[in-house]
Amino acid sequence: MKKFDEDIIAALATPNGEGAIAVIRVSGKECFKQIDKIFKGKNLLSEVKKNTINYGKITFNNQLIDDVLVSIFHSPNSYTGEDSVEISTHGNPLIVQKIIEILLKQKIRLAEPGEFTKRAFLNGKFDLTQAEAVADIIKSRNDSALKGARNQLNGLLSEEIKNIKKSLIEIISLLELELDFAEEDLQFISRNEIVSKIREIIRIFETLITSYRFGRILRDGVNIAIVGKPNVGKSSLLNYFVKENRAIVSEIPGTTRDVIIEEVNIEGILFKFYDTAGFRESDNEIETLGVEKSEKTILQADFVMLIHDVEQELDLQFYNRIVSLTEENRVLLVQNKIDKTIKKLNENEIGISAKTGEGIEKLFKHLMERIGQTKIYTENSLIITNLRHLEILTKGKNYLKNAIYALEINQSQEFISIEIRYTLEMLDEIIGVVTTDEILNNIFNKFCIGK
């Protein structure tokens, strides 16, 4: 691993915008001395005690920029593990900009995205899965996602990885011990025992891998496109969600022809409903644009709710068009206006009334089932939410399967142990024991600046 440079870095740590206060983070060896050049308080920041808050004024060229509070953190007892300060200013973007400009004139450079957390990782404050969890904690939009990220920050994933590593190292050390006694042709562990141990580890890998789909839903929510012909009650259904579930209505800026998103949080799962423009035939250019957007929405949705007026014939051509844009098992045919009909629905048909709310609870139950596996995961289950982890675990699983194959065709120890070694390398990549600049940059570039 490349030794990271010892620059002092600075960035705004709070969201950009107007507020009561804004906080600028600075981190790096003896950053206090640099800040002392522009800070006038009762004492020098380089001389005050750690973990103290110090009132003073930031001035530059004899001009007062702002009166601020400066929090002092001494290495290693800071977020980054380095000497750090947090400058709390009036919450005006112009003031923040000025102060950062002044800081950049004091042997301090602007932090890259995630650089504070990267330094915390490089200084051994936590491992790589925990560093990644910091970004997830900030981005979590519902309780379950937050809980998952929290578990990861607390080291649940790291622990699991370490347990797997321990088992694999046990196997490998016995195998390699056999190599040392190769001439005696000893077996310290039976081949059947290795197979069953490795199969058990593969099962753990598989559980983690299948948790990913649920994890992604936890983190990002379920995207559901609502489609249907005019007047089947698409808007009524969305209005019902808004009214009953305090949905967050987030209209994408633009004309009313754009896609409208409603977010509904049900049992900790975020459902994002995308209201589409409808599929009227039209020569009008703007209308065509609307259709294109609808198609794209369907393509990207986890599920498509096709709303249909129960009293009308199903337009099979329309239905097939929708299915052609996604997969049949992702399309949910919802019969609306059941309050107005005497028609009896089949057991497996979904009928609702967007007006009275009848059937909507059942609709969500059905959705939950389709999302699947919701019941398998409890609050403290370990859930993978990170694509990088998924990819590594999938590779690791394949190496272990290779190992099993090598065992089955009775290959010698080297062939088994090399696959296990590959798996161990993969696991080390997850927790960041082995890593490259490229991997680190990929991870931390996704962070916001200031974290």
What residues make contact with its own copies under the rule CB under 8 A? 11-23, 25, 51-54, 64, 66, 69, 71-73, 86, 88, 90-92, 94-95, 116, 134, 137-143, 146, 150, 154, 253-255, 448, 450-451
Nearest distance from residue 318's CB to its own copies, in Å? 29
Six-digit token string for 334: 């919802």
Six-digit token string for 67: 């009166």
Contact between residue 313 and residue 279 where contact means Cβ atoms under 8 Å apart: no
- Looking at the DSSP bridge assignments, the partners of residue 249 are 262
Whose Cβ is closer to its own copies: residue 72's or residue 334's?
Answer: 72
Pairwise CA distance, residues 358 & 368, whole Å: 18
Instruction: Give Cβ neighbours of residue 100 (< 8 Å, ≥ 6 apart).
Output: 10, 11, 12, 24, 110
Nearest distance from residue 91's CB to its own copies, in Å? 6
Nearest distance from residue 267's CB to its own copies, in Å? 16
Nearest distance from residue 116's CB to its own copies, in Å? 7
Contact between residue 217 and residue 269 where contact means Cβ atoms under 8 Å apart: yes
Whose Cβ is closer to its own copies: residue 20's or residue 342's?
Answer: 20
Whose Cβ is closer to its own copies: residue 2's or residue 49's?
Answer: 49
Whose Cβ is closer to its own copies: residue 106's or residue 265's?
Answer: 265
Pairwise CA distance, residues 13 & 327, whole Å: 43
Q: How far are the Cα atoms of 142, 244, 263, 374, 428 from residue 266, in angstroms, in the given order?
A: 10, 11, 10, 12, 37
Whose Cβ is closer to its own copies: residue 90's or residue 109's?
Answer: 90
Whose Cβ is closer to its own copies: residue 18's or residue 206's?
Answer: 18
Nearest distance from residue 380's CB to its own copies, in Å? 11
- Looking at the DSSP bridge assignments, the partners of residue 332 are 305
Whose Cβ is closer to its own copies: residue 91's or residue 357's?
Answer: 91
Nearest distance from residue 55's CB to its own copies, in Å? 8
Instruction: Give Cβ neighbours of residue 327 (< 8 Å, ≥ 6 apart).
Output: none
Whose Cβ is closer to its own copies: residue 308's or residue 451's?
Answer: 451
Whose Cβ is closer to its own copies: residue 73's or residue 271's?
Answer: 73
Six-digit token string for 165: 């590593």
Instruction: Give Cβ neighbours of residue 77 (< 8 Å, ≥ 6 apart).
Output: 50, 51
Nearest distance from residue 269's CB to its own copies, in Å? 14
Contact between residue 85 and residue 72 where contact means Cβ atoms under 8 Å apart: yes
Nearest distance from residue 214's CB to its own copies, in Å? 19
Beta-carbon count within 10 A of 11 CB: 22
Nearest distance from residue 17's CB to its own copies, in Å? 4
Pairwise CA distance, residues 196 & 180, whole Å: 24
**In which region does residue 405 sit, left (phi positive, over 0), alpha (psi from -120 to 50) or beta (all else)?**
alpha
Handedness of CA 23, 53, 105, 79 (dihedral sign): negative
